[in-house]
Structures are given as structure tokens and as C-alpha cells.
Amino acid sequence: MKVCVIGSGYVGLVAGASFAEYGNHVICVDKDSKKIEDLKKGIIPIYEPGLSELVLSNHKENRLGFSTSIQEGVESSELIFIAVGTPTSDDGSADLSAVYAVAEQIGKSLNGYKVIVDKSTVPVGTAAKVKEIISKNTKHEFDVVSNPEFLKEGAAIDDFMKPERVVIGADSEKAGELVAQLYAPFVLNGNPIIKMGTVSAELTKYACNAFLATKISFANEIANLCESVGADYEDVRKGMGTDSRIGRQFLYAGIGYGGSCFPKDVRALIRTSENFSSSLRIIKEVENVNEDQKVRLYTKIENFFGKDQIKGKTFAVWGLAFKPGTDDMREAPSIPLLLKLHEEGAKIKAFDPVAKETSEHYFKGKIEYSKDAYEALQDADALLLLTEWREFREPDFSRMKKLMKGHVIFDGRNQYRPDHMKKEGFKYLSIGKKPV
């Protein structure tokens, strides 16, 4: 099939490359001319495991092309995916200006029947609005479909190629079948293609992310209670997770969620509920809990050293990105924590395997970057583990102890065993456990 993907960011590029991998002819469109020129040269604008190889191989085979022209992409394709950004507006709602601008250009470029697919995460009613905008700019027939993405950063290629389910929101049987035909090779393992109306599909995406965010905030609240009553959250987590009604995933305690999806989507869902006078009281608290959790490690640091003793201390930091496997710094818990430490006069020496460049925008010279994890430890008073990259899981503790001035670890991701840390001679403070 001939496919156009408008927006060559995270979702658009993963989708375009994956469609091409299954033999479709795909053109990825973006208004950023430098990004398009870089892609033509094989320079990938984002870090995602496996994406570079997928883009390069399909571009080489002429199944994947790049352009700055929406007209070129629309005229040459049967299916047009809108995958532009929908950032949070000041009032918490999703900013749909880019989606609507693209819809207008699509309408002006239609040269026959097309199916326009909303791939961007958009609130209820967006498909109807996109249809209205396109209708004002064309006399050709078309349909609008909602096809939300369910990608995890760091595992996006696998998620797209082997989806647990494909959700297709279509009010036209013809359009729904065409999109289902495109996805058929991706679900040969028997996983379902779920068809529904456009409004239901739009809400499904937000409901999924809000529920997962709720599990994370719930886990963190219980972990905090464990610290107060003297329980071990790891034991509690195992007890909960083995209940098939609850499940093991998203029950790990830590310093809160971040990234491009959960924070933005939770806020947008809250805003949608307010617009329709249907309050989501639980979801509002999910966001509040998460914001508090992001600075919980600071409270532990302040209690350990004393508020007046943070100034002049050197903190080594392992991990800056909001999660391992990505360079994404959007809403990363490391940001408010490290900015607070800087504000209190601390020196920060940080290492992240891939997020140095993306993090510079947020810290603006307020932290020092190290070439590797061990360099960051030199003369540090404490180590803060903020992102659970695999290379941090089994470090050389003897080497760490020799490099550090103070032998204390604040573990925001519960990577180590307290008994092991005590044996190694470290003071160890984590989430949901007694300090040792």
C-alpha cells in the first residue's frame, strides 16, 4: 500500500519505518527541512533502539522516502497518517494547532478518495474537527480514522511490529477495512484488531495511559507508607503483583513517571473531563502524587545531610533520561530534583549513556557532565541513581568506594539490595524500604 506519514518525530518515524519494513511504500513528511535532509543522509533525529537500522535499510530499498511537501505525500498515497506533536497547552489541554494546520493542508492537497488517520494522541472530538477542516478545503471524498499508538519508548519498534492489539476507530466501514488491511501483517500471531467508533478510540488511548499512571502513583504511595510503618515495599509488591487481577507491571516504586506521554495525557484527560462536566477525581490525584514523588529523594537527601549542609556537597548522578532506553528528557524526574539541589548550592556531576545532549536544554550549565559513570563518582559525597540503565545494575562497588568521598547512595529506582549495600560498606536509601 502507499502510505504518507506527516510528522517525522518519534511516533511518525517509527510508524513509517515499520510500515515500510512490511513492503509498503511510505513517504515521511516533515516541515523541518534540516530533519528531512538529515534523514536522507541516514542521520536519525531521535534515539530509539533498532530505529536507525530500520530507517536506513528501508530507505536504501526505496520503500521509505522523505519530503517537506505535504502535497507530494498526499497525492501519492492512499492512507495519510497525521503524527505531529500535541504538546500540553497552558490550561492542561492538548495543543492541536499542528494537527489542524496539517488537516487544512491535506484538504487542499486531496486529489481523490483518501483515508486520513489520526495517529497523534488527540482528545475526544478531534477526528470530527479534522473532518470538518478537510471538508472546507476539498470537494473530494475522504474518511477520517482514529488509530492511537501504544508505544513504549525504548521498545517502540517491537511494540509496533508485534502489537498486543491494534485499535481502529472508524465511522466508515470502508475506511476501517482499509486501515485493517494495512495492519494485517502485524497481527499474524492472532492478536486482535479492535474496531470501534472514532470517539471511543480517542478515549481508549487516554484511558490506557491514565490507568498505567495511576498504578505508578498508587505504587509510590504504598511505598511511602511502607517507609512510615516499617514494611518492605518489595515484599508488598510481590504480594500484589502475583494477584492476577492486579498484575506485576507498573507496580515498581521510584521517583515518579515522566516522558512525552503519561504527564501530557493525564493532564489532557483531566481537561477533557472538565470540558464535559464529568470530573475524574482519582486522575487528578494521580498527577499530584507524581509531582510530589519527583522530589521525594530531595527530602531524603535533606534529612540525611541536614538542610544547611547541602551547600558545597558534590552529588554524582547516574541517569538523567526519564527511563532507560531513550534520550527523552521531557518531564524527567531528574529535572526538578537536580535543579533543587543546584538551587541549594550543591555541585552535580552527571552521567547518562545517551541523554547528555537532550538534557543540556533543561539544565543550562547547572550540572557538570562526566564521560562515564565512574568519572562522575570522583570525590562525590553521594550517588543519586535516577534512571535504571542496565549498565548501572552491577557496578564495581569496591571501585566506587575508592572514588567517592562519602559512601552513601540514594537509589530512586530500587536497583540494589539493602543487605548487599550494607555489606559493601555503603549507607543506602531507596524508595519503600528502611535505610541501611
Q: How many helices (H) and strands (E) does the chain have?
A: 18, 14
Instruction: Flag whether 433 is marked binding.
Output: no
Q: Using a CB cutoff of 8 Å and minimum separation of 24, what contacts does 369-372 make?
A: 370/316
As a whole number of angstroms, the distance between CA 24 and CA 330 comes to 32
What is the DSSP code string of 181-200?
A: HHHGGGGTTSPPEEEE-HHH
Instruction: Flag whether 280 is marked binding.
Output: no
Q: Which of 257, 241, 266, 340 is nearest to 297 (CA)?
A: 340
Instruction: Flag whether 254 is marked binding.
Output: yes
Q: Which triple of cell numbers denotes residue 354?
A: 545517551
242 φ/ψ angles, rounded to the nearest 5 degrees: -80, -5
Q: Active-site residue among 4, 28, 226, 261?
A: 261
Instruction: Flag whether 256 is marked binding.
Output: no
Instruction: Flag whether 363 is marked binding.
Output: no
Say which amino acid occupies 164: E
Instruction: Flag whether 267 is marked binding.
Output: no
Instruction: Flag whether 258 is marked binding.
Output: yes
Q: Where are the beta strands (DSSP E) in 157-282?
A: 166-170, 193-196
Instruction: Flag whether 264 is marked binding.
Output: yes
CB atoms within 10 A of CB 120: 27
Instruction: Flag whether 121 is marked binding.
Output: yes
Instruction: Flag whether 426 is marked binding.
Output: no
Instruction: Flag whether 184 is marked binding.
Output: no
Instruction: Flag whether 253 is marked binding.
Output: yes
Q: Which of 325, 384, 398, 324 is nearest to 349 (CA)?
A: 384
Instruction: Flag whether 30 is marked binding.
Output: yes
Residue 196: DSSP 8-state: E
* Residues 350/370, Cβ–Cβ less than 8 Å: yes
**What's the chain's length in residues?**
436
Instruction: Flag whether 349 is marked binding.
Output: no
Q: Is 261 a catalytic residue?
A: yes
Residue positions forming the annotated binding site for NAD(+): 30, 35, 86, 121, 153, 264, 330
Residue positions forming the annotated binding site: 30, 35, 86, 121, 150-153, 205, 250-254, 258, 264, 323, 330
Residue positions forming the annotated binding site for substrate: 150-153, 205, 250-254, 258, 323
Annotated catalytic residues are 261
